[in-house]
């Protein structure tokens, strides 16, 4: 069963988002793992931001596709809530966001729908809450400020 997607998310088509993530995946810089990932982030006002993974010889400095798309969104001055994220990775199985990406997606879209795919098969469609249960986010952090 598909999760409910916010009304603002009606500005996108799941198949189109996955197609675009699959296309931009070819731009990934992956000389070490060879595992390419493309991502498309959609905000509540319908804007789209794209990203690919960018590896580094110092693996800790590698950037995930989801992170680069969200960084592009923030750099563009957009603070609208993320309503959808499409992620496509190499291989047949769905490519879900890593733990760090899940946390970042939750920060900007606590109700976001995630469309995860590979090169074949049916995409996995879940909410970020399903991927990151009991998430630590801005509301919880504000409790330390007397909020």
Helix, strand or coil for residue 63? Answer: strand
Residue 78, φ and ψ in degrees, nearest 5: -85, 130
Q: Which of 66, 81, 107, 130 is catalytic?
A: 66
Angstrom distance (rounded) from CA 146 to CA 113: 31
User: Between 99-108 and 65-75, two packed helices, what is the crossing angle to 10 degrees?
Assistant: 30
Angle, alpha carbons 42-65-130 (nearest 5°): 65
Task: Answer whether 23's CB lies under 8 Å from 120's CB.
Answer: no
Does residue 23 carry a catalytic annotation?
no
Residues with catalytic roles: 66
């Amino acid at each position: 069963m598909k999760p409910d997607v916010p009304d603002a998310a009606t500005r996108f088509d799941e198949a189109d988002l996955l197609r675009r993530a699959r296309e931009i995946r070819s731009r990934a810089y992956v000389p070490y793992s060879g595992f390419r990932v493309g991502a498309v982030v959609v905000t509540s006002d319908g804007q789209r931001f794209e990203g690919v993974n960018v590896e580094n010889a110092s693996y800790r400095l590698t950037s995930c596709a989801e992170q680069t798309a969200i960084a592009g969104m923030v750099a563009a001055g957009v603070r609208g809530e993320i309503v959808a994220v499409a992620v496509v990775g190499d291989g047949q199985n769905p490519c879900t966001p890593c733990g760090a990406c899940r946390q970042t997606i939750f920060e900007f879209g606590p109700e976001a729908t995630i469309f995860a795919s590979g090169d074949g098969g049916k995409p996995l469609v879940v909410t970020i809450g399903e991927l990151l249960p009991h998430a630590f986010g801005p509301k919880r952090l504000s409790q330390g400020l007397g909020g």
